[in-house]
Amino acid sequence: MPSSLTLVYVMFMCFYFSRSDDYVLDDKLGRTFDGIGGLSGGGATSRLLVNYAEPYRSQILDYLFKPNFGASLHILKVEIGGDAQTTDGTEPTHMHYENDENYFRGYEWWLMLEAKKRNPNITLIGLPWAFPGWVGHGENWPYDFPDITANYVVSWITGAKRSHGLDIDYVGVWNERPFDSKYIKLLRYTLDKNGLDKVKIIASDNLWEPIAFYVLQDEELSAAVDVIGAHYPGTTTIKEALESDKTLWSSEDYSTFNDEVGGGCWARILNQNYVNGMMTSTISWNLVASYYENLPFGRDGLMTAEEPWSSNYVVESPIWITAHTTQFTQPGWSYLQTVGHLNKGGSYVALTDRKGQLTVVIETMTHDHSVCIRPPLEPFEVTPQNVTFHLKGSFASISQLQLWKSRFDFKTKNPVFFQKLDPVKISNGSFTLNLDVDEVYTLSTITTAQRGAYPDPPPSAAFPKLYKDDFNVRNPPFTEAPDFADQTGVFEYFMNLTDPGPHVFTLRQVVTQRPVTWVADADQTISVIGDYSWQNITVTCDVLIEKTKNGAVFIAARVDKGGGDVRTTKGLFFWVYADGTYKVTSDIQGTTILTEGKSGTSSDIWYTLSLSIKGDTATGMLNGSLLWKSAVVSGKVPKNGWAAIGTSSFEVAQFDNFSIEAE
């Protein structure tokens, strides 16, 4: 090739490869931004958080909610507890029975108050997953008596205000379950009748269809619904949702193990839920992974706080990815119309407060480093690229932008999250960035952002091998005993003021009717505790079967399951019955019997049960005397699992002086 041509070729290639792609940001506005949120519940995902000692508990809350510190969330969505299993446990309702009302149960009230304390502007959302049995009049369906359901949900909202001064901003219908248009209209009517016309309705926390079709066809329904909320939309929406002119949200998303791929998933969907699907809010299931890791979807939270016994917690990458958007925007800002995909892969969004502030968030996550738990992700390419943004209109006068960067580093494992770099000078209305893959950038006129930090928490440690709870030392705001994770039924602190004996303060299972369930709760109640790896342990507990003549209670070891699979839980279960018998089974249903016999037990009398398992054999004691021994468990009982307590049906029963000795 002649040398002059070679030179031209080289010059051309240099120009070609070093050229930068151009993007224009101007004043044309897109949709209103509603904020980034976290979801506590659905279910019991914050269960262990409340049991953290200070100052660690407050530190975790700061990383989640404190403005200009960490995730600085704009939205907190919580489960309206329904006494039923909703993924990682049950959450108590404010109305166990029709004539019962209590707005201090569980931890969601406390969590909303802590969030508000840090960010008075935080948006609050409530959504039921399940309902107490009386709402369905015994049917596993909440719409047969829609007025009862609507009043029940509205009472949660009025109770939030009356008991805690909390204003709930949005309420949903029935999580990931069928909706009923008549019920949604009645819910709107009931809210309005109670002076709650400001409370907006999200529907239907499931797929885009059929709710978008119904909203398009039914004016009255359309008037009742403020937001169409879809779950795990894979960043896309449907034509009918756009035609409805409704606000569109990804009202539950993420649910991905919170390692760096989880962080990458979160970075990609936070941008692309708007770029591809016009969704103006994205809410993470879940807020914080504060449940036993061996329950379903372990660590699918923005950060991890699953060890109240050690106080260890981990600020995972999704916290800092959230900060890239939340610390530089507020709900009520507008997206610009000029948002989109970058030519070599990745995406950018731009937002403004319409008073001169501008925030641009860029992500270049590659396919394999941003896969979410669902839906499957189609292949796509991302390569390094140079991008030039041109600021037009009212943004043309901006002279510099703050620059914050995260870099996932899957090769050398040396990632950088939410690092402040030197501001970018805008020359002649534009700036250029050299983007590598798997990076996130924020450029903004907002100068208040900070990477909050506390000293490292104590190191991770296993659940203590010696554990005791006499339920006498109370943690007043909470109704549950520390570290117990209810998987069917609700186990609450109980105080018997007429009892002069040793059992004044106890733990009591209080759900007496099968709830309107979300998944298949067991027919028995059960609360698990401890270390999933435990093999050889002794579990001891005082138990009281109340009232019923055919009731029973159990203590258990090596319990292998919770969550939606709780019906098929295996373990070693030691039951005593009010009819004077006992039974040892390897399943929660009490059907696979290892040994059984007479115990002389009856209702309304306290007994001390003790269960020991070591290797392949087990023994059981009643009131300190051997009741059965050498039950062979080999091949029948799981090799390891949690300890547990429970009842044979939805019946009241009490527990006291619980203790564990693990080897």
DSSP 106: S
Size of the site for ligand NAG (CB under 6 A): 36
**Per the structure block, which two tokens stand in for 609?**
């049960």
Provide the mask over 216-255, with x wherever binding to ligand NAG is found by CB under 6 A and - wherever it is not: ----------------------------------------
Q: Which letter, b or e, does each residue of 552-587 get, where b requires 16 or more Cβ atoms within 10 Å of its Cβ?
A: bbbbbbbbbbbbbbbbebbbbbbbbbbbeebbbbbb
CB of 588 to ligand NAG, least distance (A): 23
Cβ contact 35:283 at 8 Å: no
Residue from 140, 386, 394, 400 binding ligand NAG (CB under 6 A): 386
CB of 146 to ligand NAG, least distance (A): 35
3-state SS, one letter per residue, for 7-57 = HHHHHHHHHHHHCCEEEEECCCEEEECCEEEEEECCCCCCCCHHHCCCCHH
CB of 502 to ligand NAG, least distance (A): 4
Amino acid in the structure at residue 179? F
From 115-123, 181-189, 284-292, 558-566, span contacting ligand NAG (CB under 6 A): 115-123
Cβ contact 541:503 at 8 Å: no
Residue 399 binds ligand NAG (CB under 6 A)? no
CA–CA dist 144, 135 (Å, integer): 9
CB of 67 to ligand NAG, least distance (A): 5
CB of 499 to ligand NAG, least distance (A): 3
Q: How far apart are the first and last CA of the chain?
A: 79
Q: What region, left, alpha or beta, does residue 254 occupy, with left being phi > 0 and alpha being psi -120 to 50 degrees? A: left
Ranges within 456-515 binding ligand NAG (CB under 6 A)? 470, 472, 496, 498-499, 501-503, 505
CB of 20 to ligand NAG, least distance (A): 7
List, as one string, the DSSP characters of 161-210.
Answer: HHHH-----EE-SSTTS---HHHHHHHHHHHHHTT-TT-EEEEEEE-STT
Ranges within 2-31 binding ligand NAG (CB under 6 A)? 17-18
For 267, the 3-state DSSP assignment is helix
From 220-228, 252-260, 366-374, 379-387, span contacting ligand NAG (CB under 6 A): 379-387
Provide the mask over 516-545, with x wherever binding to ligand NAG is found by CB under 6 A and - wherever it is not: -------------------xx-----x---
**Per the structure block, which two tokens stand in for 632?**
């062979």
**Per the structure block, which two tokens stand in for 116?**
């508000």
Give the nearer residue to ligand NAG in terms of CB position, either 145 or 606.
606
Position with the least CB separation from ligand NAG: 615
Cβ contact 22:450 at 8 Å: no
**Whole-Å CA distances, 247 to 202, 274, 276, 281:** 9, 11, 15, 9
Strand-pair category, 537-545 with 552-559: unpaired
Provide the mask over 641-660, with x wherever binding to ligand NAG is found by CB under 6 A and - wherever it is not: -------------x-xx---
CB of 215 to ligand NAG, least distance (A): 30
Residue 447 binds ligand NAG (CB under 6 A)? no
CB of 427 to ligand NAG, least distance (A): 7
CB of 226 to ligand NAG, least distance (A): 20
Give the nearer residue to ligand NAG in terms of CB position, either 392 or 567.
392
CB of 508 to ligand NAG, least distance (A): 8
Give the nearer residue to ligand NAG in terms of CB position, either 211 or 433.
433
Residue 434 binds ligand NAG (CB under 6 A)? yes
CA–CA dist 345, 341 (Å, integer): 6
Provide the mask over 58-77, with x wherever binding to ligand NAG is found by CB under 6 A and - wherever it is not: ---------x----------
CA–CA dist 473, 492 (Å, integer): 13
Residue from 197, 209, 243, 663 binding ligand NAG (CB under 6 A): 663
Cβ contact 541:655 at 8 Å: yes
- Please, which residues have CB within 8 angstroms of residue 456's CB and are 6 or more apart in sequence? none
Tell me, yes or no, if 219 is annotated catalytic: no
Tell me, yes or no, if 252 is annotated catalytic: yes
Give the nearer residue to ligand NAG in terms of CB position, either 107 or 471.
471
DSSP 525: E
CA–CA dist 424, 437 (Å, integer): 20
Give the nearer residue to ligand NAG in terms of CB position, either 274 or 389.
389
Give the nearer residue to ligand NAG in terms of CB position, either 9 or 189.
9
**Sheet (strand 385-391) strand order:** 21-25, 385-391, 430-435
Give the nearer residue to ligand NAG in terms of CB position, either 254 or 650.
650
Provide the mask over 117-136, with x wherever binding to ligand NAG is found by CB under 6 A and - wherever it is not: --xxx---------------
CB of 99 to ligand NAG, least distance (A): 17
Cβ contact 37:282 at 8 Å: yes
Selecting among 176, 546, 596, 661, the annotated active-site residue is 176
Give the nearer residue to ligand NAG in terms of CB position, either 139 or 663.
663
Cβ contact 251:230 at 8 Å: yes
Give the nearer residue to ligand NAG in terms of CB position, either 245 or 663.
663
Ranges within 582-641 binding ligand NAG (CB under 6 A)? 600, 604-607, 614-615, 622-623
Amino acid in the structure at residue 202? I
Give the nearer residue to ligand NAG in terms of CB position, either 19 or 182.
19
**Per the structure block, which two tokens stand in for 137?**
């009049």
**Per the structure block, which two tokens stand in for 155?**
């009472």
Selecting among 79, 108, 252, 363, the annotated active-site residue is 252
Give helix 181-193 / helix 146-164 axis angle, nearest 10°.
Answer: 40
CB of 657 to ligand NAG, least distance (A): 4
Give, in degrees to the nearest 5, the angle at Cα 547 between 576 and 601.
30
Residues of this chain that interact with ligand NAG (CB under 6 A) are 17-18, 67, 119-121, 384-386, 428, 434, 470, 472, 496, 498-499, 501-503, 505, 535-536, 542, 600, 604-607, 614-615, 622-623, 654, 656-657, 663
Give catalytic residue positions.
176, 252
